[in-house]
Amino acid sequence: MSKLVTIVDYGIGNIFSVTRALEHCGAEILLTDRPEDILAAACLVLPGVGAFSNGMDGLRTRGLTSPIKEYAARGRPLLGICLGMQMLFTGSSEFGHHQGLNIIEGQIIPINPVGVDGEHLKVPHIGWSELRPTPEGLKWDSSILKHVDEDRHCYFVHSYTAVPDDERHRLADTYYGDCQISAAVAKGNVFGCQFHPEKSGATGLAIIKGFLEI
């Protein structure tokens, strides 16, 4: 029997490609902007692309912030993708300060365009980057990365990065030059990917499969 996955539709996001990837992994999809559907979900995905403030405005105008937070508090599986991951955090400094969902404590900050060694980095960070385990984070075999080897690459498109207050919430990092990037985060059954698993080939599909098994 396939798993029913609820995708939050708040007017911003790469809904089509996320839906196709989940369906490829055997999921049935409910695409919704209704608070009651989110509260009733067994498995929830929050996608997104674009600016943090626009994303949060899209959630607020549909009355979805409280249902998403309540859903997460119940310990059910939640996956945030790209902007969806960033909105899980306390706040962002993108174009001013904006409050997030505060499901994972921490801030979204700009990628530093100049590395420690003085190297100039092109921002946004676009392309394939390697996933690396973090010293204090959840072990991959207990997470959405359970089917992924340490040397796998995923596809990133972003100008801001998450900095969790608690280092144990870092699941995987990547490096852009010598800039540390939170590639994936985890807190309980809440997960986030800064990269796009739906655009990351076989590795991305393996991550989606891992999420569906949570």
**Is position 196 annotated as part of the catalytic site?**
yes
Provide DSSP, the chain: -PPEEEEE-SS-S-HHHHHHHHHHTT-EEEEE--HHHHHH-SSEEE---S-HHHHHHHHHHTT-HHHHHHHHHTT--EEEETHHHHTTEEEE-TTS-EE---SEEEEEEEPPSB-TTS-B--SSEEEEEE-EE-SSSPPGGGSTTTT--TT-EEEEEESEEEEESSGGGEEEEEEETTEEEEEEEEETTEEEESS-GGGSHHHHHHHHHHHHT-
Q: Which of 25, 43, 82, 193 is catalytic?
A: 82
Q: Which of 43, 94, 98, 198 is catalytic?
A: 198
**Is position 125 annotated as part of the catalytic site?**
no
**Is position 94 annotated as part of the catalytic site?**
no
Q: Which of 98, 158, 169, 196 is catalytic?
A: 196
Catalytic center residues = 82, 196, 198
